[in-house]
Homo-oligomer: A and B are copies of this chain.
């Protein structure tokens, strides 16, 4: 006996989702069964409501409805400062700091090849022409907000080249000892970065 037939379809779908292995998929299916019909209906409806999700045609973040998302439509934000992020969750984390008042560009998850994919290049192109129209070709600042790892560094370099001349400043997020971290336990790379970027 492998997975019981009656839950196999659900288990197979769950097991393809990020961070869910085959064992947890089975556990989740049994959890849903135990929760009963109304909880199952609740999940169904919540998945169905994803049909309402639209993608902002400027920053490619999600929102309800069509056209621009709340951030891009917000006149009180400084639209001439653009943070380029990989994932929607990176955008959310930056928003949660409450310290960024510009707009975003959500590139989409990086592939394994380490190169920009066609749709990511298109997004950069649309940013360029938006800057051309809106700010006469030069925004105030472009912040490349990628994870500080090999792939992030590599793609950041590519993008900085690609967008050359489109902003007064091109910056990357600060690197160093995380808040609450201990020098003693920082790896050499991190501590090296913290030294180089001291101020």
Interface residue ranges, A against B (CB under 8 Å) = 1-7, 9-10, 13, 17-20, 23-24, 26-33, 37, 39-40, 42-53, 62-64, 87-89, 92, 95-96
Contacts and interface: CB of A to CB of B under 8 A. Distances in A.
A88 B30 contact: yes
Contact of A18 (B3, B31, B87): B31
A82 to B, nearest CB: 17
A100 B13 CA distance: 29
Contacts of A64: 4-6
A62 B10 contact: no
Contacts of A24: 18-19
Given A7-B50, A46-B13, A30 B89 contact: yes
A151 to B, nearest CB: 18
19 contacts: A3-B92, A4-B62, A4-B92, A6-B49, A6-B53, A6-B63, A9-B45, A17-B28, A17-B31, A18-B31, A19-B28, A23-B89, A26-B89, A30-B87, A32-B47, A32-B50, A40-B47, A40-B48, A43-B47
A20 B25 CA distance: 11
A155 to B, nearest CB: 19
Contacts of A47: 10, 32, 40, 43-44, 47
